[in-house]
């Protein structure tokens, strides 16, 4: 397969999945606003994020086993079908005026589980499709999908007024159909969609542990995932609280505009990484992006200003494609293809296992600890309050200052670990070029990444 043909196939499938992600992002935004406005509780709002993350940690090891056993195209189609069923159920509940908060939690968990299978399957076959030479740039381009996910609220605010929540979910279902049709129609070599190499199947739990053992044997990769676990914990707290922070001094319409501004920063960062691919030593991009992101989080706390949030959120989200695409490229190039699905799954578990805890703590910390401290008569009103202000939302702003400072600290601690500093020096397991398919081999298709951050969350 020539590079031109390969590029056309990639772009076709990517665009189809991008359309689907727009629909899913619209639904996620309107349901989140619905829960927050109905309950007025940051804690209940944050439980949506928990429902979107906990299944990832629980399902990922088994998703990795499936991706290394079965046809990855079929796995992605089945996972898309499962997510569509959850959305359709919510749409019916809205139509019957029976939608409850717990329905949203349950449907979100189902969608997250299906998305995990989809992502692991896609990422496991990407190196064979793209090839080592273009892998870093392609991973950067894939972050455009996340930019759309963040910018979608601007459109969601208009749609929810014109067609309602149920109508938004119908749009989401239509976009699912577009993505599925693209997967069905675009054909790729079997060597891309099927696991690399024949192997003896072992019990599922033993196979699931293979990814963990591989990371433990490659200390640089293992330390990188531990670093992401700490980073994701801090980012998870900030990600839950950014919308309540904005809503404490601005309207839902302004929230949509600011989310769009943040998505623009992510979009620009994705284009930069798509064109550049990052430095030769990916770890430098990771540490630099994390440090800059920590500073940007601190700046969120300075004032209740839409203009400030619009600038610093864009700056923070600009760093995400730099960090995430560099880390993904390292894992994909340093891992043997035959175990790549399980290693990617293990990496997700290590990197994402701290996120549910962050989502559980974010609401109670903001509502029960930091907000009382920053009231006009709070314990920190005469000290920290003189810098960032007091009153509604200023406790949440203080959470941003603390998480940003801690993020800079973990960068310093991570750099002190030699295996992590030298992770780029691990031998490459990915061949320099992807072998051409044999005549007659053609089955399968690639999909695109369809999540809410991430090995890391992407909310800012």
pLDDT tens-digit profile, the chain (460 residues)? 666 676 677 777 778 778 888 888 888 888 888 888 888 877 787 788 778 888 888 899 999 999 998 888 899 899 999 999 999 999 999 899 899 999 999 999 999 999 899 889 988 888 887 878 888 888 887 887 777 666 666 677 778 778 888 898 999 999 999 989 988 888 777 777 887 654 567 778 888 899 999 999 999 999 999 999 999 999 989 988 998 999 899 987 788 788 878 878 888 999 999 899 999 999 999 999 999 999 999 999 999 999 999 999 999 999 999 999 999 999 999 999 889 999 999 998 998 888 888 878 888 899 999 999 999 999 999 999 999 999 999 999 999 999 999 999 999 999 999 999 999 999 998 766 544 443 333 333 333 333 333 333 333 3
Q: What does the pLDDT read at residue 452?
A: 32
Q: What does the pLDDT read at residue 140?
A: 86
DSSP string, 229-295: HHHHHHHHHHHHHHHHHHHTTS-HHHHHHHHHHHHHHHHHHHHHHHHH---SSHHHHHHHHHHHHHH
Question: Side-chain half-sphere of 158: how many Cα atoms within 13 Å?
Answer: 5
Which residues 6+ apart lie within 8 Å of 324 measured at CB? 139, 143, 454, 455, 456
Cα 260 to Cα 310: distance, rounded to the nearest angstrom: 9
> Ramachandran region of residue 197, left (φ > 0), alpha (ψ -120 to 50) or beta?
left
Extract long-range pairs of 371-379: CB within 8 Å, 24+ residues apart. Answer: 371/395, 371/396, 373/398, 374/398
**Coil, strand, or helix at residue 187?**
coil
DSSP string, 89-106: HHHHHHHTT---HHHHHH
Which of 286, 294, 350 minimizes the C-alpha distance to 321?
286
Residue in the block written with tokens 């994705």: 270
Q: What does the pLDDT read at residue 154?
A: 65
First to last CA, the chain: 40
Domains and CATH numbers, the chain: 3-194+203-425 (1.20.1250.20)
87 φ/ψ angles, rounded to the nearest 5 degrees: -65, -40
137 φ/ψ angles, rounded to the nearest 5 degrees: -65, -40
Cβ atoms of 45 and 32 within 8 Å: the answer is yes
**What angle do helix axes 252-276 and 3-39 make, rounded to 10 degrees?**
160
């Amino acid at each position: 397969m020539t590079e031109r043909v390969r590029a056309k196939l990639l772009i076709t499938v990517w665009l189809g999945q991008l359309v689907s992600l727009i629909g899913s992002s619209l639904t996620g935004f309107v349901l989140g606003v619905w829960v927050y406005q109905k309950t007025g509780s940051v804690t209940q709002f944050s439980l949506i994020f928990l429902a979107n993350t906990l299944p990832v940690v629980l399902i990922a090891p088994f998703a990795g086993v499936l991706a290394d056993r079965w046809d990855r195209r079929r796995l992605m189609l089945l996972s898309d079908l499962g997510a569509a069923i959850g959305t359709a159920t919510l749409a019916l509940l809205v139509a019957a005026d029976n939608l409850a908060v717990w329905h949203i939690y349950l449907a979100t968990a189902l969608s997250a589980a299906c998305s995990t299978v989809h992502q692991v399957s896609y990422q496991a076959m990407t190196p064979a499709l793209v090839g080592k030479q273009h892998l870093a740039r392609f991973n950067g381009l894939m972050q455009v999908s996340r930019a759309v996910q963040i910018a979608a609220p601007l459109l969601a605010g208009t749609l929810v007024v014109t067609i309602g929540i149920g109508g938004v979910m119908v749009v989401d279902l239509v976009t699912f159909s577009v993505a599925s049709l693209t997967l069905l129609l675009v054909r790729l070599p079997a060597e891309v969609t099927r696991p690399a190499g024949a192997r003896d199947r072992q019990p599922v739990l033993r196979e699931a542990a293979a990814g963990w053992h591989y990371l433990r044997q490659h200390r640089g990769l293992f330390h990188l995932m531990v670093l992401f676990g700490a980073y994701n914990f801090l980012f998870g707290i900030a990600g839950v609280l950014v919308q309540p922070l904005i809503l404490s001094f601005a309207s839902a319409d302004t929230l949509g505009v600011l989310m769009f501004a943040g998505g623009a920063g992510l979009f620009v960062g994705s284009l930069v990484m798509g064109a550049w691919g990052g430095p030769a030593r990916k770890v430098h991009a990771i540490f630099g992006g994390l440090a800059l992101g920590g500073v940007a989080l601190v700046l969120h706390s300075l004032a209740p200003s839409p203009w400030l949030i619009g600038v610093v959120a864009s700056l923070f989200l600009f760093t995400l494609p730099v960090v995430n695409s560099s880390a993904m490229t390292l894992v994909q190039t340093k891992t043997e293809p035959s175990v790549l699905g399980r290693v990617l799954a293990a990496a997700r578990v290590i990197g994402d296992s701290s996120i549910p805890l962050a989502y559980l703590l974010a609401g109670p910390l903001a509502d029960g600890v930091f907000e009382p401290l920053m009231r006009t008569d709070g314990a920190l009103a005469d000290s920290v309050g003189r810098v960032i202000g007091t009153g509604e939302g200023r406790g949440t702003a203080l959470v941003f200052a603390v998480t940003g400072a801690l993020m800079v600290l973990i960068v310093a601690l991570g750099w002190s670990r030699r295996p992590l500093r030298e992770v780029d020096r691990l031998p490459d397991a990915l061949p320099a070029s992807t072998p051409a398919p044999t005549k007659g081999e053609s089955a399968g298709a690639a999909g695109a990444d369809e999540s809410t951050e991430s090995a890391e969350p992407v909310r800012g």
